Amino acid sequence: MAVSLRQRNVLLLHFTVLIWGFTGVLGGLITVSALPLVWYRVGIAAVSLGLYFLVTKRSMRISLGDTAKILVIGCVVGLHWVLFFHAIKISTVSVTLVALSSVTLFTAILEPLFNRRKPSLADITVGLIIILGIYLIFKFEFQYLWGIVFGLSAAFCASIFGIFNARMVKKHSPTIITFYEMLGAFLGVSVVMLVNGQFSEELILSAKDWSYLLLLGIACTALAYVLGVAVMKELSAFAVALATNMEPVYGIIIAMLVFGHKETMSTGFYIGAVIVLAAVFFYPYLKAKLDKSKWKVVKKLA
């Protein structure tokens, strides 16, 4: 039975999301701390994307003003990953991924503020449900307090750069934006490491760490991004959003298989996690349904 173009792209999208879900596990396997880990990751990703432009002979020229803006956004991306990997180092992959899922909550709050519009009913509803889930996780996994705090901070940063990326992508290719963001993240992390005197022995890696970092920088960042952009040309934004919401689910399953008992949590954690993930997963359905109802009301009034 032949696979249709849409089915092939759906499978490719889920494969890409699965790769993204593997990111947290690699962060737990790599032995260096979060700052040098991110420094290597964004450096490898920037070089990989630079080679991609070189091989495809595509231009990456944009205006100086837009370059500066994207480099600044890249610094926020770098901060996001430092917070994300630090959360993994001090807690678990599962705790961090569920906390990171709150990016939907922060976006629901911040996007209307930045874009000067009223928040939708779907945003408010999903935001309240996510708060309930996070409260349960805090209550039952208080020993991972700082892991949850850093995970939530990473989600906040992800929301910020996501909102600004939505603006920049209207003007420039997503691949170009990612290249300059990786470069901005690399420069930003380099400055912090220079100020903290972290260009030291910690940058000397084992062969195993190098293999994990190359996988993280090339496969989980550069390659996965190129694949993600490719399927977006064929699939709707709604289909992409639904599949992307599976990232924490894939990540938690992979983490449990790799780390075993370390990823075993209390019943309260799983109840809270299910609430958060269910809210995030069904958000596109709720948003689409409410928007459709709103459109019908507008048509009737017209």
Q: How many domains does the chain have?
A: 1
**How would you write the pLDDT of the chain (302 residues) with one tens digit per residue?**
556 777 787 788 888 888 888 888 999 899 888 999 999 999 998 998 899 888 988 888 899 999 999 999 999 999 999 999 999 999 988 889 888 888 878 887 888 888 777 777 777 788 888 888 888 888 888 888 899 999 999 989 988 888 888 788 778 887 888 899 999 999 999 999 888 877 775 677 889 999 999 999 888 888 887 777 667 666 665 566 667 777 788 888 888 888 887 777 888 888 888 888 888 777 777 777 766 665 454 344 44
pLDDT for the residue 154: 93
- The pTM is what? 0.84
- At 108, list the tokens: 């629901």
Q: Are 136 and 126 in contact (CB under 8 A)?
A: no
pLDDT for the residue 298: 39
pLDDT for the residue 3: 61
162 closest CA partner among 89, 99, 241:
241
Q: How far apart are CA 213 and CA 268, in angstroms?
A: 34
Q: Are 79 and 85 in contact (CB under 8 A)?
A: no
Q: Are 271 and 280 in contact (CB under 8 A)?
A: no
Q: Are 10 and 243 in contact (CB under 8 A)?
A: yes
pLDDT for the residue 157: 92
pLDDT for the residue 115: 77
Range of the domain at 257: 5-301
